[in-house]
Every structure is written in C-alpha cells, then in structure tokens.
C-alpha cells in the first residue's frame, strides 16, 4: 500500500501528523525544557546544582533509598507477575481468563485509593494489627507503614500488572511442547523449567523488568502516603523542593538527573535487548 501512495496522499498524512506533534511540542516539550533549564540557571548559572549530587549526603541518601526500593519492588513484582502469567497461561479454560481479568481490574483503581486502602490495613490501629493483637499473636502493633516495607508493599501491588502482562505476552509465544520435549529427553520438571522455559522467557523478564524499574523510579503518591514523610523517594523530594522550599534549581536538577539516568539505563540495555520490542513498537 505504501508503495502506491502518491506524493499528495503522503503530504496529507504529514499535515495530519503535524497537529499532534505541535501540540506535544508546545504543551509538553517546551515547558519541560524550561523547567530543566532551571537546573543550570537558578540560583546562579552553571553546574552548581549538579555538584550537590556528589556533596550532599541528604541527596545521596534519597537516591540510595529510591534505588533500593525500586530494586526490591522490581524483583518482587517480577516474581509475582511471573507466577501469575504462568498460571494464567496454564490454567484450563476460563480460569486463566478470570485471573487475567483480576490483574486488569486493578488498573481501574486509582493509585491514591489504593494507597489509602493499604493505610487502613497497615496502620498501627489498622485491620491487620488489630486482628493480630486480638488473636494474641503480638502485644504491641507492628510498624507496617512509614517505612520501606510499607512503600515496597504498596508499589509492588501497583506494579504487578505491569510485570505480569508483558510476561504473559512473552510466554504465550513459547511452544507448549518444549517442556514435555525436555521431560521426554530426561529432564525433571525443575530441570525442564530452568534449562528450557526460563531461558525462553528471559526476553519477557527483561522487558517487564525495564518497565517496572523505570515506572518505580518516578513513584510519588504511594511512597508519600505509605512512607509517611519518613521514607522519602526522589519524586517526593523533588516535589518538596519545588512546592515547599522553593528551591527550584535543586528540584529541577534532580528531575534532569532522573531523566538522564533513565535514558542512560535504556542506552545500556539497548545493547542487550531490542528496545522497540520492549515497548511494543515491533
């Protein structure tokens, strides 16, 4: 079809494409670049803000906390997502579809509502602590929020669909006869999984891992509510700089760093995987 497309039709397509591109440029890229520009101009021009990445222990703390939480979140979301995707694919008939439906269902709940739901469950006089104390299992309430445990729990819950769905798509493409073939050649169920199924699902794990990790880096609402100001991730720290301390130069520096770090991460990963496949372009 494209071969037959004459020059006029192509011009029409280009014009149609121009409108959304202009909209993106004026309403997204331009303001974004203005904000990022602040990082090298405010309070004084130069890379003074960026120096603080290496000098301020407070900022380094926030970065390490963020990375630690994101690694845990990604690992747990992948593990649970893998199990869900595998089960959805191997359950007979409608059961697998029901499972996928529940995974998709969680997309319909706003992140804010979910964070509050976790608060109700986890706070010191929340459902879980009350039950455990009534049953006499514990004497004093456990600290389940305002720490990294609460943040990771809330984030994993949110990220599971992002891990499970790409994994499901990848596993769907794995020939179902490969595991029986391995078994027939002498592999135990565990060997067949480790030597055949896992390597085959590795591309899916990498895609899902990239998605989950990058999304996790930018989490704001869940850590703000479940971290309760004690466990602070980078997005919340940026928000505080912009909204409360009005330290725009520092805030926009961290935003720029976050963006550049993600691009760098993708650049490194693109050596090993086809990123167009990861993001579903191909």
What residue ranges bind other proteins (CB under 8 A)?
175, 177-178, 180-189, 191, 195-196, 199-200
Q: Which is nearer to other proteins, 46 or 199 (CB)?
A: 199
Q: Which is nearer to other proteins, 97 or 175 (CB)?
A: 175
Give me the least distance between CB of 202 and other proteins, in Å please.
8
Give me the least distance between CB of 178 and other proteins, in Å please.
6
d(CA 206, CA 113) in angstroms, rounded, equals 30
Q: Is 53 in contact with 237 (CB distance < 8 Å)?
A: no
Give me the least distance between CB of 263 and other proteins, in Å please.
30
Give me the least distance between CB of 183 and other proteins, in Å please.
5
Give me the least distance between CB of 181 and other proteins, in Å please.
4
3-class SS letters over 150-172: HHHHHHHHHHHHHHHHHHHHHHH
Q: Which is nearer to other proteins, 8 or 177 (CB)?
A: 177
Q: Is 201 in contact with 170 (CB distance < 8 Å)?
A: yes
Q: Which is nearer to other proteins, 104 or 198 (CB)?
A: 198
Q: CA torsion, points 147, 148, 152, 154, in degrees to nearest 10?
A: 10
DSSP label at 220? Answer: -
Could you tell me which of 210, 213, 211 has the C-alpha nearest to residue 271? 210
Give me the least distance between CB of 193 and other proteins, in Å please.
13
Q: Which is nearer to other proteins, 191 or 270 (CB)?
A: 191
Other CB atoms within 10 A of residue 205 CB: 17
d(CA 69, CA 59) in angstroms, rounded, equals 15
Other CB atoms within 10 A of residue 115 CB: 22
Q: Which is nearer to other proteins, 70 or 167 (CB)?
A: 167
Q: Is 192 in contact with 183 (CB distance < 8 Å)?
A: yes
């Amino acid at each position: 079809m494209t071969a037959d497309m004459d020059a006029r039709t192509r011009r029409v397509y280009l014009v149609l494409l121009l409108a959304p591109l202009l909209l993106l440029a004026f309403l997204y890229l331009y303001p974004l670049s203005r904000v990022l520009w602040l990082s090298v101009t405010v309070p004084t021009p130069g890379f003074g803000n960026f120096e603080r990445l290496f000098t301020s222990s407070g900022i380094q703390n926030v970065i390490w906390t963020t990375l630690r939480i994101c690694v845990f979140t990604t690992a747990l979301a992948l593990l649970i997502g893998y199990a869900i995707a595998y089960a959805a694919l191997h359950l007979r008939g409608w059961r697998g579809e029901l499972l996928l439906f529940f995974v998709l269902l969680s997309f319909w709940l706003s992140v804010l509502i979910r964070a509050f739901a976790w608060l109700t469950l986890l706070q010191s006089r929340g459902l879980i602590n009350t039950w455990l104390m009534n049953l006499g299992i514990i004497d004093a309430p456990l600290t389940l929020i305002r720490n990294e445990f609460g943040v990771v729990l809330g984030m994993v819950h949110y990220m599971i669909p992002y891990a499970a769905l790409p994994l499901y798509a990848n596993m769907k493409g794995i020939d179902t006869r490969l595991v029986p073939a391995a078994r027939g050649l002498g592999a135990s169920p565990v060997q067949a999984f480790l030597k055949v199924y896992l390597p085959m699902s590795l591309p899916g794990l990498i895609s899902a891992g990239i998605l989950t990790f990058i999304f996790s880096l930018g989490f704001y609402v869940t850590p703000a509510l479940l971290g309760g100001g004690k466990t602070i991730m980078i997005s919340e720290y940026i928000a505080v700089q912009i909204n409360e301390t009005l330290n725009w130069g520092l805030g926009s520096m961290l935003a720029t760093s976050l963006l550049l770090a993600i691009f760098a991460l993708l650049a490194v990963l693109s050596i090993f995987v086809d990123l167009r496949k990861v993001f579903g372009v191909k």
